[in-house]
Structure 1
Amino acid sequence: MEDRIEVINFGLKHDLYNAIAICVMGGSGKTTVAQCIYNLNNKDFKSSSFIQDIGKQPDGMLGLQKQLLRDLLGGKKIKISNVSEATHKIEQILHMKKVLIVLDDIDKHEQLSALLGTKAFPTQSKIIIITRLLDIQTLFGSVSLKCHVNKIKLLDDLESLELLSWYAFRSKTPMEGFKELAIQLAQYCGGNPLALKVLGDLDCNIQSVLRRCFDSLPLRSHKELFLHIACFFVGEYEFVTEMILEEELYAKSGILTLIRRSLLTISANRKLMMHQLLQEMGRSILCEESKDPTKRSRVWHDTESYHVLRKGDGSNTIEGLTLDMRKVEQGMRSEVRQLK
């Protein structure tokens, strides 16, 4: 935690930037880091506000603005009738007072412009923005604040093992007899703190967190592209995937969207890479379509693909299928019949 906080604190104290963006995939500790930064620094400001889960607040934008104004005015109630009036009042406070604001789960330009305003003016206030979007700069649009982007690195193997051990064994190291298993679980989580906590607590919230990342994709074609990649194209060259899927799913722009939303990465040799937990989340979505593989839109498990093709009834739902006969032959007890 200390290393990550130090980097962000440096940007927060830099006079060049008014805003600090903390970006990375869901469950990776963005909010926890921001809470630590907030607690360490809010005493240096005249007033402060930490607004969580902006996308899920039931009272809408005006409710968020009223909460922000109450915090910045020390609990004082203020009569506000509409969003534009609230935005104007927030702009006045940012101009006149040195305040610290944390906005958690920002993913739309309209949220920023309503909560921070659009006018350019000198200010000593600092804004921390927590988002899954890597291209946070594009969200600023007419918002005049200068933003420094921090992409939080995931945990390395040693940090992962330690965090898993704290949750699973309530100690810094694994319990005797569980070390090898703990190492395997830590590696499986790929450095994602929430995944490590979930496994340590024997919970299942990580899939729901990652599912929200998927559900928030703006276009149906983005979701379809994500599912195709999760099933068939992880480890494939970017240009090959684009060539195959461009006409139907606008793969070039879609891949950029998935990267910006931390659902996909590109390796140094331009291959598509996806966190294992994200890939499993995508495949679990498809399993919800039906228990019968022939009634799903995609079939990626070799044995299931083999039986689908052996049955030979055809399907009106399958959009993609992959089959490695070598894996089928290795796993089948009975003789593998040839496919026609």
Structure 2
Amino acid sequence: MIISNTYASSTQSLDHLVAIMKHRKATGLVIIPIYFKVTLSDIYGSKGKFEAAFLQLQSSLQEDKVKRWKAAVTEIVSIGGIEWTKGFQFILAEEVVRNASLRLYLKNSKNMVEILSLLEHSECLDVEIFGLWGMPGIGKTSLAREVFEILVPQYDLCYFLQDFHLEFEMKGLWQLRDDFFSKIFGEEKLSLDASDTKLSFMRDRFHNKRILVVLDDVSNARDAEAVLGGFGWFSKGHTIILTSRKKQVLVQCKAKELYEIQKLCEFESFRLCKQYLNEESEVISELISCSSGIPLVLKALVSSVSKRHINSVKEHLWFLLENSPSLIEGAFRRSFDCLDENEKNIFLDIACFFRGVDMDHVVQILDACGVYTNLGICDLIDESLISLCDNRIDMPIPFQEFGRFLVHEEDEDPCERSRLWDPSDITNVLTSNSGTDAIEGIFLDASDLTCELGPTVFDKMCKLRLLKFYYSTSGNHQFMLSLPQGLYSLPDELRLLHWEGYPLENLPQKFNPENLVQLNMPYSDMVKLWEGKKNLGNLKILKLSHSEKLTDIRMLSEALNLENIDLEGCTSLVDISSSIPRCGKLVSLNMKGCSRLQSLPAMVGLTSLKFLDLSGCLDLEEIQDFAPNLKELYLAGTAIRELPSSIENLTELVTLDLENCKRLQQLPVGVSNLKSIVKLKLSGCGSLGSLLKLKAVDCGTS
């Protein structure tokens, strides 16, 4: 249906519009309005061309007739449609066909089917309040509008308000409230006093009317309730549908049924792409992946990709963020701006560094930074900005790129940004020794880099709390970040220090690790961590795996809060009897492949230890005792001849691996009483005697 700038001047056209709207209500007719060389503000605004035309007509025609025309115009505007102010008409025709196709697809989408099923099978005896929630750009408005269009014929009075949050900010409570009551009372410029909105008055007035109200994008439950005059006067036969980015807002609105809008599946994404890209395109799969099933992003990407050549979809997404903010950035910006500082910092850290990472790992690091991480993550989930999948933090690619875009916008110069992840930016900052106290985090994938760092490279980065150098594609562990002149210091604010292939024999003596929570330095050249003692009171995770020159870890005895120690493949370690902290917090100790290891500490005091791996410790002949609460014990390939009798007390032991313990001669009699064992490996134990006494144990010699 085409509406032009002269439409309101034609009484015949206006009568035709009234008839169409009446027919639409009776039959559910689908209408796609086309606003040809006229904008919605011209039609709906109090100072627009349509309002001026109505004032002129009102002086010469009956007021009731003009009121019907205005109501029909208000209704057609609520449907939305296509604004076309300039361009070739054949392009307009393509847009109309595409719009019609997308609406037909939407009617048959999984989300629409499930929402309508939810509405249909609801058996509420009171007012029905439904809540639709989901992340920015997921299609809440489109779905709510389509549901509204489908339900309109079933109701006597219908009201749809798009962008409730923005309208509330622009117009305020009283104007929105007056607009709503004017609509349902059927009176223009209605002024209500307190008695007019009493529950008894409203119930009596509308008890025999079926009312449908849709409020789109509600961010505050109290605002929605205030605009509607409260939820108390609504009764049976009345339906309220609310959409929000926040599930909790809908709960506060006492929604009886909640539905989370799902992302587009791959087929739905592909079908949307084909509406814009007529021929097979190699970038379609990348478009689908980069959009993460978010309709708004996918539409913005495919519609613009069809008009220009691109080399990278992610680069093009950045182009849209920079040059077409209304398309994508606007949808995400409000969600970000509504966050408090704690939530913003967590969001940016996840976007830059921790997407796809185990939540417990993230919480451990960020809590040490003074952040309320658990609370912040819960709020980000409620805002539909992140989700959890198998305890890993999932953030859609567009949200990640938006977060990184925000950091990129902090300053044109990378050395003045808070977080760095781009290899070229980081390389420039490090090699030019231009780091500043603005930098809080650096995650560098150095797989394809070869560069030398100066000894004072970190001296000016006094606020650096997260440092990670890793190699995502290095299969042969050839590490090409070198420190030919050594390293004078590291920032004392570091909570995470992860440096694969660290090229020096120890860490800088000036470095105070009192804030350090995780120290991950696999494949390093370290011989010892430091000379002397350091404050390691906050250290919880230590990973020095495959550091083949490492001989001395005695300073760890001071790390009383260690929970995880990984020394796998540290082939120069011989004696750690005085190195493991004697406290009850250690959960996991991995010494696999420490082929020269000969001596272990007493473990009876390690009451939290659940995992112990000593497999491949070829020189290990004797074990004094075991931690009392072990669940997994791996001793494969060791030189032990017998197990200590304390193994009989490991009532929680699930796995016992003694494979290829060729010198093992017997097992303690009490092993047969370990009811919890699920896996017992004894293959290759050629010296082991009879197993007849192991009646209660499944000796799976796999």
1:302 aligns with 423
Percent of aligned pairs with the same amino acid:
27
1:68/1:124 Cα in 2 relative to 1: closer, same or farther (>3 Å)? Answer: same
1:236/1:275 Cα in 2 relative to 1: closer, same or farther (>3 Å)? Answer: same
Rounded Cα–Cα distance in structure 2 between residues aligned with 1:37 and 1:91: 29
1:86 Cα deviation from its structure 2 partner: 7.9
Q: How does 1:60-99 map to 2 (within 5 A)?
A: 60-80=172-192, 88=198, 92=202, 96=207, 97-99=209-211
1:313 Cα deviation from its structure 2 partner: 4.1
- Secondary structure of residue in 1 paired with 2:330: helix
* 8 A Cα contact 1:87 1:114, kept in partner: no
1:276 aligns with 397
Relative contact order, higher structure (CA 8 A, sep 6+)? 1
- Find out whether 1:110 has 2:222 as its counterpart: yes
Rounded Cα–Cα distance in structure 2 between residues aligned with 1:127 and 1:51: 12
Q: How does 1:114-153 map to 2 (within 5 A)?
A: 114-116=226-228, 117-119=230-232, 122-140=235-253, 145-153=254-262
Q: How does 1:1-340 map to 2 (within 5 A)?
A: 1=106, 2=108, 3-13=110-120, 14-16=122-124, 18-57=128-167, 58-80=170-192, 88=198, 92=202, 96=207, 97-116=209-228, 117-119=230-232, 122-140=235-253, 145-166=254-275, 168-169=276-277, 174-175=278-279, 178-202=280-304, 204=324, 205-217=327-339, 219-246=340-367, 248-268=370-390, 270-329=391-450, 338-339=482-483, 340=487
Letter in 1 for 2:295: P
User: Structure 1: which 5+ residue stretches go unaligned?
Assistant: none
1:290/1:87 Cα in 2 relative to 1: closer, same or farther (>3 Å)? Answer: farther
2:31 aligns with none
1:225/1:146 Cα in 2 relative to 1: closer, same or farther (>3 Å)? Answer: closer
User: Structure 2: which 5+ residue stretches go unaligned?
Assistant: 1-105, 305-319, 451-470, 472-478, 488-702
1:66 Cα deviation from its structure 2 partner: 1.4
- Secondary structure of residue in 2 paired with 1:316: coil
1:69/1:56 Cα in 2 relative to 1: closer, same or farther (>3 Å)? Answer: same
* 8 A Cα contact 2:132 2:259, kept in partner: yes
* 8 A Cα contact 2:135 2:384, kept in partner: yes
Rounded Cα–Cα distance in structure 2 between residues aligned with 1:257 and 1:86: 39
1:257 Cα deviation from its structure 2 partner: 0.6
1:336 Cα deviation from its structure 2 partner: 6.0
1:337/1:255 Cα in 2 relative to 1: closer, same or farther (>3 Å)? Answer: closer
Rounded Cα–Cα distance in structure 2 between residues aligned with 1:146 and 1:95: 21
1:87 Cα deviation from its structure 2 partner: 6.1
Letter in 2 for 1:132: R
Out of 296-305 and 43-52, give the one that drifted further.
296-305
1:151/1:9 Cα in 2 relative to 1: closer, same or farther (>3 Å)? Answer: same
Out of 119-128 and 290-299, give the one that drifted further.
119-128
- Secondary structure of residue in 1 paired with 2:247: coil
1:118 Cα deviation from its structure 2 partner: 4.8
Rounded Cα–Cα distance in structure 2 between residues aligned with 1:234 and 1:76: 52
* 8 A Cα contact 1:47 1:74, kept in partner: no
1:6 Cα deviation from its structure 2 partner: 2.3
- Secondary structure of residue in 1 paired with 2:135: coil
1:121/1:165 Cα in 2 relative to 1: closer, same or farther (>3 Å)? Answer: closer
Q: Which structure is higher in helix share?
A: 1
1:308 Cα deviation from its structure 2 partner: 2.0
- Secondary structure of residue in 1 paired with 2:240: strand
Rounded Cα–Cα distance in structure 2 between residues aligned with 1:91 and 1:221: 46
1:276 Cα deviation from its structure 2 partner: 0.2
2:81 aligns with none
> Which segments of structure 1 move beyond 4 Å, counting only runs of 4 or more?
84-91
Rounded Cα–Cα distance in structure 2 between residues aligned with 1:85 and 1:191: 49
Letter in 1 for 2:258: V
- Secondary structure of residue in 1 paired with 2:262: coil
1:64/1:91 Cα in 2 relative to 1: closer, same or farther (>3 Å)? Answer: farther
Rounded Cα–Cα distance in structure 1 between residues aligned with 2:200 and 2:176: 12
Rounded Cα–Cα distance in structure 1 between residues aligned with 2:303 and 2:482: 46
* 8 A Cα contact 1:265 1:274, kept in partner: yes
* 8 A Cα contact 2:214 2:242, kept in partner: yes
- Secondary structure of residue in 2 paired with 1:159: helix
TM-superposition CA deviations, 1:303-337 (whole Å, max 9, x none): 3223323333441211211123224349xxxx966
1:206 Cα deviation from its structure 2 partner: 1.5
Out of 198-207 and 155-164, give the one that drifted further.
198-207
Rounded Cα–Cα distance in structure 1 between residues aligned with 2:201 and 2:283: 53
TM-score (norm 2): 0.43
- Secondary structure of residue in 2 paired with 1:326: coil
1:200/1:313 Cα in 2 relative to 1: closer, same or farther (>3 Å)? Answer: closer
1:75 Cα deviation from its structure 2 partner: 4.1
Out of 116-125 and 250-259, give the one that drifted further.
116-125
Report the aligned-residue RMSD.
2.6
Count of equivalent residues: 322
Rounded Cα–Cα distance in structure 1 between residues aligned with 2:234 and 2:192: 23
Rounded Cα–Cα distance in structure 2 between residues aligned with 1:5 and 1:266: 24
TM-score (norm 1): 0.86
Letter in 1 for 2:220: K
TM-superposition CA deviations, 1:211-264 (whole Å, max 9, x none): 2221222x1211111001101111111111111112522111100010111100
* 8 A Cα contact 2:131 2:250, kept in partner: no
Rounded Cα–Cα distance in structure 1 between residues aligned with 2:358 and 2:396: 16
- Secondary structure of residue in 1 paired with 2:218: coil
